Copies of this chain bind each other. A is one copy, B any other.
């Protein structure tokens, strides 16, 4: 590439396949979260479900898959909210953010490799009541 003053410059950045994040509403006040150990930061976080887009998947297909794999839910209605670029300076990553409503619990099926431990309390996935 060339800078505005004509000098040549070299830029390195990360190619990322893209990812999705899902805000899954159980009801108007309750969002399903997952608890996950994040190795780079050395601790657990409560997060909205998320995951990388696999080759050949549309973002919506990824969102459906991740909501089922991480939380065991299927959703009746899906809405794309926005696109986020979390590391604009050194990565082309894009995160497609979806709203999921009309949830039905269809059984947990966490990724074998990830060993996600969903926090079950009284048979329910960890939830956080907003407001």
Contacts and interface: CB of A to CB of B under 8 A. Distances in A.
B115 A40 contact: no
A117 interface: yes
Copies, count: 2
A41 interface: yes
Contact of A39 (B13, B38, B85): B13
B1 A89 contact: no
Interface residues of A, number: 24
A106 interface: no
A34 to B, nearest CB: 12
A41 B115 CA distance: 33
B86 A41 contact: no
Contacts of A90: 40
A36 to B, nearest CB: 9
Interface string A71-83: 0000000000000
Interface of A: 1, 3-5, 11, 13-14, 38-41, 45, 47, 85-93, 115, 117
Q: Top 5 A-B pairs ranked by shortest CB distance? A: A86-B86, A13-B40, A40-B92, A11-B39, A4-B115
